[in-house]
Structure 1
Amino acid sequence: MKKIIYLLLLSLVFACGGPEPRKPIETKSGSFIKESVERNKRLLEEEEVLIQQYIAIDSIHDYQNSAAGSWYSYEIKNDEASYTPKEDDLVTLTYNLRSLNNDTIYSMEEVGVLNYKVDKQELFPGLRSGVKLLKEKETAIFIFPSSMAFGYHGDNNKIGPNTPIMATIEIFKITKKEDLI
């Protein structure tokens, strides 16, 4: 009888191995990310075609490409000023937003006059980069692809998903960071 008990105990010891890790049922290949990247590239190419068509039709303005990926044209240029806003400067400005069909989305009256602390307050990416290109008393028209505007989500109000927009930005005053103290 002792041999049977020892045999049972011995078999229990060897039968109880360590826990085996569970293997995933599916393996992720990263294809979703690759597909998303490809979809975004196609979307940007399509938007750039629309923007280039708009620029070709607009014979009044001479658009320049910015390093950030937007296009802009000065309506009022201030050659006497040389300072452009830097981080932590306070900029007094207003802007409007329009579709590429020139339909007003938000007027300057709706937006009002803003005091924007550069790179410290939330504005959509295109507006943040556009402000840094302008000097005091300058006004420019910017064309932003949707990736620099409100992206795939829109603004939950008047701007839909993946919508390129135009903005007219007017800078009234720039207060340097050093002068704020």
Structure 2
Amino acid sequence: MKPLLIIFSFLTLLIGACKTPEARRPISVSSGSFMNTSINRNIELTAKEETRIQQIIKEDSLHTYISSEGGFWYHYHKKDTVSTSTPEFGDVVHFTYNLKNLDGQLIYSEAEIDTVTYSIDQEELFFGLREGLKLMKEGEIVTFLFPSYQSYGYYGDDDKIGTNIPLISKVTLNKIDKQSTTEIKTSQKK
């Protein structure tokens, strides 16, 4: 009787081991509603900011604004129509700028920020300003209107700029130090 019980147990174990594994079911199912809510909130925020920026542009009859591919607007105070040289990857630019909110209230003055020396696309700088500098030529003065997603976005700057604040910035590009292509290639290899 015992040998029969052992054989039966062995066969049961063998048959049970041949069963294909089943996928485990998740303990909780997420509907994605948080993501949908977040996406809708950001779409509404962007539309509201762009409406406000378009209102500023419409009210400013003295300047002709240009819409950039990056999603911000700008106009020239001083434009160089002769030079074709704009900063490229690795070039070092020296510039001054200020930051205001869309109501024109000064957040940071040029004196507070001082002259900035920045290596194009190799250092930290908020996205809109980084892209705006690439459009400028030496000696030009440009005012940019940045939606919050082009400036400091959700996080702000942990000081004077809060969450989702669109900005106006007047930028003066004082000097462009062109880097030779061999210097750039050497720095990229490091």
| Same fold per superposition (TM over 0.5) | yes
The match for 2:188 is none
Deviation track 1:52-86 (CA, whole Å, cap 9, x = no partner) reads 11222233332221121111111122233321111
Instruction: Write the letter of the residue equivalent to 2:147.
Output: P
Deviation track 1:121-157 (CA, whole Å, cap 9, x = no partner) reads 1100000111011111111110000110011221111
The match for 1:11 is 12
Say whether 1:74 aligns with 2:69: no
The match for 1:121 is 123
Say how many residue pairs are matched: 181
How far apart are the structure 2 equivalents of 1:129 and 1:74? 15
How far apart are the structure 1 equivalents of 2:182 and 2:83? 19
Instruction: Write the letter of the residue equivalent to 2:72.
Output: S
What is the CA distance between 1:167 and its match in structure 2?
0.6
Query: 3-state SS of the aligned residue for 2:95?
Result: strand
Aligned Cα RMSD in Å?
Answer: 2.2
Instruction: Write the letter of the residue equivalent to 2:167.
Output: I
How far apart are the structure 1 equivalents of 2:9 and 2:66? 85
Query: 3-state SS of the aligned residue for 1:68?
Result: coil
How far apart are the structure 1 equivalents of 2:126 and 2:71? 14
How far apart are the structure 1 equivalents of 2:57 and 2:82? 28
Instruction: Write the letter of the residue equivalent to 2:77.
Output: E
Shift in CA distance, 161/47, structure 1 to aligned 2, threshold 3 Å: same
Instruction: Write the letter of the residue equivalent to 2:158.
Output: N
What is the CA distance between 1:5 and its match in structure 2?
2.6
Query: 3-state SS of the aligned residue for 1:87?
Result: coil
TM-score where L is the length of structure 2 = 0.84
Output aligned runs, 1:1-181, within 5 Å: 1=1, 2-16=3-17, 17=19, 20-28=22-30, 30-178=32-180
What is the CA distance between 1:25 and its match in structure 2?
3.1
TM-score where L is the length of structure 1 = 0.88
* Identical positions, percent: 42
- Gap regions ≥5 residues in structure 2: 184-190
Instruction: Write the letter of the residue equivalent to 1:149.
Output: S
Shift in CA distance, 180/127, structure 1 to aligned 2, threshold 3 Å: farther
- Gap regions ≥5 residues in structure 1: none
